Amino acid sequence: MTDSYDIAVIGAGPAGMSAAITASAAGARVVVLDDKPLAGGQIYRNVTDSPLQNTDLLGEDYTKGAALVEQFNACRAEKITAANVWHVGDNGEILFSQAGASASLTAREVVIGVGAMERPFPVPGWHLPGVMTAGSAQVMLKSDGLVRDDSVFAGSGPLLYLIVAQYLRLGVKVRALVDTTPKQNYMAATGLLPGALGHTDVLTKGIGLLNEIRRAGVPVYKYAEDLQIRGEQQAQGLSFTAKGVSHSLDAEHIFLHQGVIPNLNMTRATGVEHVWNREQLSWQPQLNSWGQTSVAHIAVAGDSSGIIGADAAALSGQLVAWQQLARLGLISPEDADNHSQPLQQKLKSYQGLRRFIDRLYKPADALRKPEQPETMVCRCEEQTRGQLKAAFDQGARLPDELKGLTRCGMGPCQGRQCGHTVSELLAQWQGCEVEEVGYYRLRSPMRLINLTELARFQPHQQASVVEVKS
């Protein structure tokens, strides 16, 4: 028995599953570590064991994931579920927690496929109880079949419209959809539409969701600005301006969403170089055309590499697997090229669609960079925009300098909810580009762990390989 693998895949979403299927079928010793009890990631969460009687109501983009999950479950890769990875070392060592204990394993190559997270939405009151993300609404629905009746959904983007439509199909009342997509975005995106026409099915689905919402009689407020969540100890409603008219909606549950960004704490902590994506307004790992990072043994696939969507994420997982198989000497570079060229062509076809979506749903500056001093930026340490500006005035010019003066970014989320906002605010205050400001310097542990987990530590023993009959 050995604790060494050829490839360790972190994350069992579309990218991670596809990488594991491809690499294990080619004979590599593969282990997959995922923090959920079932494979699927966020997009295919619980697709093979849904609490809902009729999963068709969630849409084809969800239910089609069942085939990929079943293929992954049947592949020869070892699966370690409910495992929180908190360290990836320079030598391929991976430390993780599972069932209240810690363990270690090593791998010659590592694939990071931990997906995306929702972009912070720092408006006044976003920290109040009763305010969650649209992604949280989907997690509750897919995991436990839970919904929040008479909620207000605010923001923009395909995920927001999808969850509203899913609520309506389940017979759940939606108070209103407050759409913050700026009016000028529609004109700006028009020039990019020809590049997206290769995926008219996706465009048609988006239009269909909006029509579905309107037909259901849900009030839709377009071009919403100046969002403010009312309440002292609990959310009581949402105030905003739409087309020059002020509105105030009463609601105890408000779901916010303005797109997703790569979940980059793991790639940051491993020392991978990152770049600022001006189209997606987010940091992402710097990769070559194979998904390889600046760290020799680490590749990144799926939305962790930059937002590309579920279908493209699965393709990128395969692409990374072929590259790592060649690096391991399990296939020739020529074989890797032959397998990879059609995948790269398919991925290229998604670029035009992605540019169109990114431009159409580009969040307004005021919804990314708060303007009011009392708006909370770091929810963990309760640091407001005004407090951060005061620290800037004292000389903090970089995220870590701001962290040192205010503790912003030191809380349980480890900067996930404030990191991008801090980078953009500091750039704005200095009149420079975000690239010049940078991001927090992150280190292991990448997830919160306790002393009990550390005390209960032992190397992970590789499972015996079981032949899977086709």
Please tell me whether residues 70 and 84 are part of one structural domain: yes
Residue 8 covered by a domain: yes
Residue 361 covered by a domain: no
From 258, 275, 302, the end of a domain falls on: 258
pLDDT number for residue 465: 52
pLDDT number for residue 447: 87
pLDDT > 90? residue 463? no
- Can you tell me the distance from the alpha carbon of 377 to that of 317, in angstroms, rounded to the nearest whole number? 34
Residue 357 covered by a domain: no
- Can you tell me the distance from the alpha carbon of 362 to that of 184, in angstroms, rounded to the nearest whole number? 10
Please tell me whether residues 405 and 319 are part of one structural domain: no
CA of 441: how far to CAs of 320, 338, 409, 465, in Å?
26, 39, 10, 39
Q: Which residues span the domain enclosing 45?
A: 4-117+262-331
pLDDT > 70? residue 358? yes
The total domain count for the chain is 3
In degrees, to the nearest 5, what angle opens at C-alpha 49 toward C-alphas 447 and 134? 55
Please tell me whether residues 124 and 250 are part of one structural domain: yes
pLDDT > 60? residue 436? yes
Please tell me whether residues 235 and 278 are part of one structural domain: no
Residue 160 covered by a domain: yes
Please tell me whether residues 80 and 139 are part of one structural domain: no
Please tell me whether residues 281 and 205 are part of one structural domain: no
Please tell me whether residues 431 and 380 are part of one structural domain: yes
pLDDT, one tens digit per residue, over 382-394 is 999 999 999 999 9
Please tell me whether residues 129 and 110 are part of one structural domain: no
pLDDT > 50? residue 215? yes
pLDDT number for residue 3: 54
pLDDT > 70? residue 468? no
Contacts of 255 (CB under 8 A, 6+ apart): 131, 132, 133, 134, 136, 137, 148, 151, 152, 153, 154, 160, 163
pLDDT number for residue 298: 97
Please tell me the pTM assigned to this model. 0.94
pLDDT, one tens digit per residue, over 7-53 is 999 999 999 999 999 999 999 999 999 999 999 999 999 999 999 98
Residue 339 covered by a domain: no
Q: Over pLDDT 70: what percentage of the chain?
A: 98
pLDDT number for residue 462: 81
Residue 208 covered by a domain: yes
Please tell me whether residues 127 and 244 are part of one structural domain: yes
CA of 428: how far to CAs of 226, 351, 389, 417, in Å?
19, 29, 11, 18
Please tell me whether residues 82 and 133 are part of one structural domain: no
Write down the mean pLDDT value for the chain.
Answer: 94
Q: What is the CATH number of the domain that holds 234?
A: 3.50.50.60
pLDDT number for residue 470: 36
Residue 36 covered by a domain: yes
In the Cβ-directed half-sphere of 389, how many Cα atoms lie within 13 Å?
A: 14
Average pLDDT (199-204) is: 91
pLDDT, one tens digit per residue, over 80-135 is 999 999 999 988 999 999 999 999 999 999 999 999 999 999 999 999 999 999 99
Please tell me whether residues 217 and 106 are part of one structural domain: no
Q: What is the CATH number of the domain that holds 428?
A: 1.10.10.1100
pLDDT > 90? residue 469? no
Please tell me whether residues 125 and 232 are part of one structural domain: yes
- Can you tell me the distance from the alpha carbon of 183 to that of 177, in angstroms, rounded to the nearest whole number? 16
Average pLDDT (284-306) is: 96
Residue 87 covered by a domain: yes
From 275, 307, 331, the end of a domain falls on: 331
